[in-house]
Structure 1
Amino acid sequence: MSLTQELAEKLAEDTFKVMDATGDDRFFMEVAKVIGASSTTLEEAYLTAVRVRMAERRARAFLVERLKQVQADGAGGDQA
């Protein structure tokens, strides 16, 4: 992993900690603006890391919801 990717991953990780603590789900855009003022390369890598994490969270929430639905359907008993 390149230095840029490593830094972007760590920044994204720390950003999500702040977003979780504050409830500000757009905070990452403020961080991206600060990064972009100095390095567009790091900004792009950071935004990619953020988007990947957001997609992973959405996918996990979807999986959990689907599992709950399946379990609820199964709890009623399958009768053929």
Structure 2
Amino acid sequence: MAGTIETLAAKLAEDTMKVMDETGQERLFVEVGNVLAAASQSLEEAYLTEVRVRMAERKARQFLVKKLSDHRAKTKAIEKH
């Protein structure tokens, strides 16, 4: 059963992130979590964990992209001098 919950939570989190991206509703995952809470606390918890992990990964990637971009800009500026 745990595998089923994790699989469903992962797919639902992935789909939710896509809808959030398209609609700009940054807190949609909370609403979906509330719907899940009424039906299955286990699925709600797994889902919220999946969403948080995905959101954290996005934030970390944005951080890395900025760091690399800043480094390249700095290197380019040094090369021009």
TM-score (norm 2): 0.93
Percent identity of the aligned residues? Answer: 55
More helix by proportion, 1 or 2? 2
How far apart, in 2, do the equivalents of 1:24 and 1:38 lie? 23
Distance 2:36 2:27 in 1: 15
Task: Give distance in 1, aligned partners of 2:43 and 2:3.
Answer: 11
Unaligned runs of at least 5 residues, structure 2 = none
State the match for 2:61 in structure 1. 60
How many Å separate the matches in 1 of 2:22 and 2:71? Answer: 32
- What residue in structure 2 maps to residue 12 of structure 1? 13
Unaligned runs of 5+ in 1: none
Residue 38 of structure 1: aligned partner: 39
After the TM superposition, list the runs of 4 or more consecutive aligned residues in structure 1 that deviate by more than 6 angstroms: none
Paired residue total = 78
1:76 shift after superposition: 1.1
TM-score by length of 1: 0.94
For residue 26 of structure 1, what is the amino acid of its counterpart? R
